[in-house]
Amino acid sequence: MNRRYAIAAAVFAALLLAVTSSKILHVPISYVPWAAPTARAVEQRGPLSDGEKATIDIFERVSPSVVQVAVRSAANPLMGEEGQSGAGASGTGFVWDRDGHLVTNNHVVANSNEIAVRFASGEVAEVDLVGRAPNYDLAVLRIRSVRQLPAPIALGSSNDLKVGQSAFAIGNPFGLDQSMTSGIISALKRRLPTHGGREIANVIQTDAAINPGNSGGPLLDSAGRLIGVTTAIISPSGSNAGIGFAVPVDVVNRIVPELIRNGRVPTPGIGIVAAGEDVSTRLGVEGVIVVRTAPGSPAERAGIRGVNFSTGAVGDVITAVEGKPVRRLADLTDALEQAGAGKTVRLTLKRGSDTRDVNVGIIDIERS
**Do residues 186 and 131 lie in contact, with contact meaning Cβ atoms separated by under 8 Å?**
no
Q: Is 137 a catalytic residue?
A: yes
338: helix, strand or coil? helix
How many C-beta atoms surround the C-beta of residue 143 within 10 A?
A: 18
Which residues, including other chains, have CB under 8 Å from residue 298's CB and lie 6 or more apart? 270, 271, 360, 361, 362, 363
Q: Which of 65, 112, 137, 182 is catalytic?
A: 137
Q: Which of 186, 215, 280, 297 is catalytic?
A: 215
Compute, in degrees rounded to 10, the torsion defined by CA atoms 303, 309, 311, 312: 90
Segments of 44-151 assigned E as strands: 66-72, 90-95, 101-104, 114-118, 124-133, 138-143
Q: Which of 107, 179, 182, 186 is catalytic?
A: 107
Distance CA(212)–CA(172), nearest Å, equals 8
H/E segment holding residue 199: strand 199-206
Residues annotated catalytic, as ranges: 107, 137, 215
